[in-house]
């Protein structure tokens, strides 16, 4: 039992969780992007991913109650349905293809998507397309399955709709909670949910809750335009992090 918590590593993992939770509370996404690389400095990457997933599942259970009625149910249902379809294919790709090249490809796709989003729209933003939501969910599940990054397709989708920032943020939070739940069976099957990862999750959870709450308070002071800019900045960080990780592995 004395080896469950090794200081100062445990404290640093908690600080990484707190910082990533603030990002999540502010934008509705980006927790795994910020938390996993930071936690990987102190724990094996597989454990970092597992802890991040467990934390998102734990706080997501609370979010389904506190945010009830604030998300867009029709869009969310179709995103989740698409993710259920796409995730198994993503896992298959992970087993058959080189994750390094896939991460670089994802980075390039995100940058292309950002370039499109940064273009001034010719007309007003349109209501969300339910058919496109299903396709987006499938692509998000695919990306989540082979690169643990379901966020960029979903974020890009919401940024192109006329949904209010609060509704888009709530929908993203619940969607990523759902995609985290989808990964739990694989983590159990792979033997990654252990006494150690559960203990670290329990220690970091209070900071996850506080950081999400604090980020939510910051969001309340953010305008619609400010929210979209923040979301694009996090997407850019996703592209840079994914590309750098892929290039680092590719160059050895």
**pLDDT tens, position by position, for the chain (252 residues)?**
446 656 677 888 899 899 889 988 888 887 877 787 778 777 887 788 889 889 999 999 899 998 888 999 999 999 999 999 998 887 777 667 666 666 676 667 667 666 766 665 555 667 888 999 999 999 988 887 776 678 788 888 988 888 888 899 999 999 989 988 888 888 888 788 888 889 999 999 999 999 999 999 989 888 878 887 887 787 777 677 766 766 666 665
* Matching residue, tokens 């506190």: 66
Phi, psi of 161 (to 5 degrees): -100, 170
Joined together, the tokens standing for residue 204 give 């970091």
pLDDT digits (tens, 9 = 90+) for 156-199: 898 888 888 889 999 999 998 998 888 888 888 878 888 888 99
CA 234, CA 117: separation in Å to the nearest integer?
Answer: 13
pLDDT reported for residue 100:
64
pLDDT reported for residue 113:
64
Contact by Cβ (8 Å): 163, 175: no
Q: Can you give the pTM of this predicted structure?
A: 0.79
CA 9, CA 20: separation in Å to the nearest integer?
Answer: 16
CA 58, CA 86: separation in Å to the nearest integer?
Answer: 23
pLDDT reported for residue 1:
43
pLDDT reported for residue 234:
77
For residue 99, how far is the Cα from the chain centroid?
Answer: 18
The 3-state DSSP composition of the chain as helix, strand, coil percent (nearest 5) reads 80, 0, 20
């Amino acid at each position: 039992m004395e080896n469950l918590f090794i200081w100062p590593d445990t404290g640093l993992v908690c600080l990484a969780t707190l910082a990533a939770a603030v990002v999540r509370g502010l934008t509705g996404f980006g927790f795994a992007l910020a938390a996993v690389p930071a936690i990987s400095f102190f724990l094996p990457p597989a454990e970092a991913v597992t802890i991040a997933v467990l934390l998102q599942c734990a706080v997501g259970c609370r979010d389904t109650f506190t945010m009830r009625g604030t998300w867009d149910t029709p869009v969310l249902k179709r995103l989740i349905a698409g993710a259920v379809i796409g995730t198994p294919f993503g896992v298959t790709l992970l087993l058959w293809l080189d994750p390094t090249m896939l991460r670089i490809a994802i980075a390039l796709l995100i940058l292309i998507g950002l370039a499109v989003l940064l273009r001034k729209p010719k007309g007003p933003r349109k209501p969300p397309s339910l058919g496109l939501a299903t396709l987006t969910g499938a692509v998000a599940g695919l990306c989540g399955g082979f690169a643990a990054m379901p966020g960029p397709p979903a974020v890009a989708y919401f940024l192109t709709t006329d949904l209010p920032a609060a509704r888009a943020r709530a929908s993203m939070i619940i969607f990523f909670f759902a995609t985290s739940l989808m990964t739990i069976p694989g983590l159990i099957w792979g033997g990654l949910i252990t006494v150690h990862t559960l203990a670290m999750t329990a220690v970091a959870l209070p900071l996850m809750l506080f950081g999400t709450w604090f980020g939510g308070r910051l969001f309340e002071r953010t305008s619609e335009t400010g929210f979209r800019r923040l979301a694009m900045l996090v997407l850019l960080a996703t592209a840079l992090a994914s590309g750098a990780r892929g290039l680092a592995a590719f160059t050895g």
